[in-house]
Amino acid sequence: SHLLLHHAQQLFEFGDKYRGKYDSSVGVVKSYYASVSGYMDEMLWAALWLYKATDHEGYLKYVINKAHCFGGIGWAINEFSWDVKYAGVQIIAAKLLMEEKHKEHKHILEQYRSKAEYYICSCLNKNNGSNNVDHTPGGLIYIRQWNNMQYVSSAAFLLTVYSDILRNSNRKLSCHGGLVGHEELLSFAKTQVDYILGSNPMNMSYLVGYGPNHPTRVHHRGASIVSYRENKGFIGCTQGYDNWYSRVEPNPNVVVGALVGGPDCQDNFSDERGNYMETEACTYNTAPLVGVFAKLNHLEDQKVQRDQNLPLIASY
């Protein structure tokens, strides 16, 4: 862990010294993973996590001093993704207000919190006017067509985190649409998870391998091509595309735990390998769900424990 932390600090120093968008240096990625938000949200994101890992004041000062010029308290965002990390930055910064040692930075941290709460209210559809996230008829958060589930899983995670912040600080969230308690945040996050796991108009679990009905033609090269243990022949890119990509049969390998891109804005989903916008599997889709699952499982364990401790009542 010390070695990993050391390298993380080295990378932060390198990124701060040589500022710029990575796709300016590696131009070939622009058509696949272009950086829309630039590098500033990533630098704030890295500084906050390094502060949490080391407790070094320099990382906190970085987040405070660059709050304006790096957009940390300027951007009101309604998405959180691999590219746009401002909402995550703002929520972590807001959490710092709960600690007495950060009171001297209260003015800046409260501005971070204001932007964090804009994001949360947007997800709940409680902002003013059109400043809200869209939802499908079935209730799923909907940002855009390509791999929408990344925004859903990350929103569920941030809502869960902010629910804890509200509960631990004994606060309510003040949205344009009214006051919101921590229970409502967690309840909404659960609706998104339930949708992912099959409570949706398609009765489809979008978590591969979970439930009786889940995507079987995931847009994933390793899943789409037969294992070497089954076929010892050479399969290069050309053979993989020509012989496997267009097959209508289910994938020979199941990518258990992968969260695919998910349905369109009308809750419709087409389980086709070539439909990469809906069937693509990404690690940044599944990763936020782990935290949400852990929280919901913890609450379920607490409920079971409470039920077991209830005194027995005789019935007649």
Least confidently predicted of 15-29, 103-117, 197-211, 235-249: 235-249
Q: What is the pLDDT of residue 126?
A: 96
CA distances (Å), 216 to each of 93, 140, 246, 251, 308, in order?
A: 40, 22, 14, 6, 40
Decide if pLDDT at 130 tops 50: yes
Residue 175: which region, alpha, beta or left (left: phi > 0; alpha: psi -120 to 50)?
beta
Decide if pLDDT at 316 tops 70: no
Decide if pLDDT at 311 tops 70: no
> Any bridge partners for residue 134, and if so which?
142
Q: What is the pLDDT of residue 187?
A: 97
pLDDT band at 315 (very low <50, low <70, confident <90, very high): very low
> What is the rounded distance in angstroms from the CA atom of residue 268 to the CA atom of residue 251?
21
Which one is predicted more confidently, 25 or 288?
288
Decide if pLDDT at 27 tops 50: yes
Decide if pLDDT at 191 tops 50: yes
> What is the rounded distance in angstroms from the CA atom of residue 9 to the CA atom of residue 214?
41
Once rounded to an integer, what is the mean pLDDT over residues 278-285?
Answer: 96
Write down the residue that tokens 């009101």 correspond to.
Answer: 76
The secondary structure of 251-267, three-state, reads CCCCCCCCEECCCCCCC
Once rounded to an integer, what is the mean pLDDT over residues 284-305?
Answer: 92
Once rounded to an integer, what is the mean pLDDT over residues 53-79?
Answer: 96
Q: What is the pLDDT of residue 231?
A: 78
Structural domain boundaries in the chain: 1-123, 140-220+255-302
**Cβ-based neighbours of 217, under 8 Å, separated by 6 or more:** 224, 250, 251, 271, 272, 273, 279
Indicate the average pLDDT of the chain. 93
Closest to 157 measured CA to CA, from 88, 104, 222: 88
Once rounded to an integer, what is the mean pLDDT over residues 169-185?
Answer: 95
Closest to 143 measured CA to CA, from 189, 193, 188, 84: 84
pLDDT band at 31 (very low <50, low <70, confident <90, very high): confident
Decide if pLDDT at 128 tops 70: yes
CA-CA-CA-CA torsion sign (193, 194, 195, 197): positive
